[in-house]
Structure 1
Amino acid sequence: MKKLIAAVVLAGAALLATPAVANAAGYTPDSSVSVSGNYAAGGTAAVSFTPGAFQDNETVNVQVTGAGAVTLGALPTTTVSKSYTAASDGSLVVRVTFPAGASGTYNLTATGATSGVVGLASFTVAPADAAAAAASGSNGTNGTLAFTGGTISALALWVGGGAVLLGGGLLVVRGSVRRQRETV
């Protein structure tokens, strides 16, 4: 029984330690990334990384994922990857062209090949017909999208799951002790 409890504790510790490893990567601070442009279907947005965000003249691998095809250069697909070279001061500007039927969230990840620094940007693109209706004010809303996500944090989910596992383990131990007492 002690081995079972030790195994459960070790498994729980491993599960809780895994997200900490992901946080160890070097990320550019939000203040080093600025996004401008047109976040509409068919529009183009520019993501600018400030000087020093990457190493001088470093190769930066950029990946854009989203609900529909995007274009980095001349490559329209659902996930686009392309390599850029940072300027001599470590800055970088990436232009993202959204497809005509784009809608939803698009995420840009720029990773320095030498430094391993990761820069992130996110775009929320409204469909062309919704953007036109919001601009004309004909839909009766203030032009914002409805919030459809959850508000429960990942930490709360881990704590809740851990409590359920701990409770189950206690029930197993209690049953084992009860059976041992009945046989004595």
Structure 2
Amino acid sequence: MKTTIIRAVAALSLAAAALLVPATANAYTDPAVVTATPAVVAPGGQTTFTTSSAPYQGDEEVLISVTGVNANGVTLASVVQTNNSLRTKAVNGKLMVPVKLPANATGTYNLTFTGTKSGIVLRSTITVAGSSSTPAKGGLAITGFDAGSTAGLWIAGGGLVVAGGAVAVGVLVRRRRAATNA
């Protein structure tokens, strides 16, 4: 009987721990948020990416990577460059990059800004007007579940922790009674 109770407590503890693991993924925060103004752009249009703070070092060079349909046609608005060598400089650590989309742009474009000295990586997304996707708010990529859809898991996990505690208390009470009756 003791072995069964110990196994039950161990199983409940493991289940509770498994429910708490996803919380560590939410611990990371971006050093800054990159905002695209405007977030929805017409084909051939221009948008400007700016940071909310100064995450980069001084006038650090920033490499820009673009992913999307016809991404090689994306240029910096001030200088014509190919997508393989898009670069800009942070001014006093802040990002302010005007980007021009190609005339045949469509869908969503994901941009990654990487500081060459600091190694800081920031991300943002823009959507071409008339595309079916909606723009993201910048920062980390949206993956996994949102907090609203995991509420049931948190409640179930809390229930498991309470049940495990009740089993542990029951085991202690039983042991004390057995010890006093012996």
- What TM-score, normalized by structure 1, do the two folds share? 0.54
Q: Which has the greater radius of gyration?
A: 2
Cα pair 1:52 1:91 within 8 Å, conserved: yes
Q: Which has the higher contact order (CA 8 A, sep 6+)?
A: 2
Report if the CA contact (8 A) 1:38-1:44 is conserved: no
Q: How does 1:89-128 map to 2 (within 5 A)?
A: 89-127=92-130
Contact 1:60 1:110 in 2 (8 A): yes
Equivalences for residues 138-153 of structure 1 within 5 A? none
User: 1:106–1:122: 8 Å Cα contact kept in structure 2?
Assistant: yes
- Corresponding residue for 1:55? 57
* Larger strand share, 1 or 2: 1
- Displacement of 1:102: 2.3
Quote the residue 1:157 is aligned against.
149
- Percent of aligned positions that are identical: 26
- The counterpart of 1:65, out of the listed 49, 56, 67, is 67
Q: Which runs of 5+ in 2 are unaligned?
A: 1-7, 76-80, 135-144, 164-182
In structure 2, the CA distance between the partners of 1:126 and 1:90, relative to structure 1 (3 Å rule), is same
Residues 123 and 146 (structure 1), Cα distance of their counterparts in 2 relative to 1, 3 Å cut? closer
- Range moving further from structure 2, 5-14 or 83-92: 83-92
Shift of 1:37: 10
- Return the alpha-carbon distance in structure 2 between the equivalents of residues 54 and 154 of structure 1: 29
Any idea what the Cα deviations from partners look like across 1:134-156, whole Å, max 9, x if unmatched? Answer: xxxxxxxxxxx898xxxxx8111
Structure 1 residue runs of 5 or longer lacking an equivalent are: 76-80, 131-144, 148-152, 171-184
TM-score normalised by length of structure 2: 0.55
For 1:55, the aligned partner's letter is Q
1:3 matched to 2:10? The reply is yes
Secondary structure of 1:114's match? coil
Mark the CA change 1:85 to 1:51 in structure 2 (over 3 Å): closer, same or farther: farther
1:111-152 CA-partner distances (Å, limit 9, x unpaired): 32433545444322124xx9xxxxxxxxxxxxxx898xxxxx
In 2, the alpha carbon distance for the partners of 1:159 and 1:42 equals 43
Per-residue deviation, residues 53-99 of structure 1 (Å, max 9, x unmatched): 52123232323333x12224213xxxxx6563525633444343323
Equivalent residue runs for 1:69-88 within 5 Å: 69-70=70-71, 71-72=74-75, 73-75=81-83, 82=85, 84-87=87-90
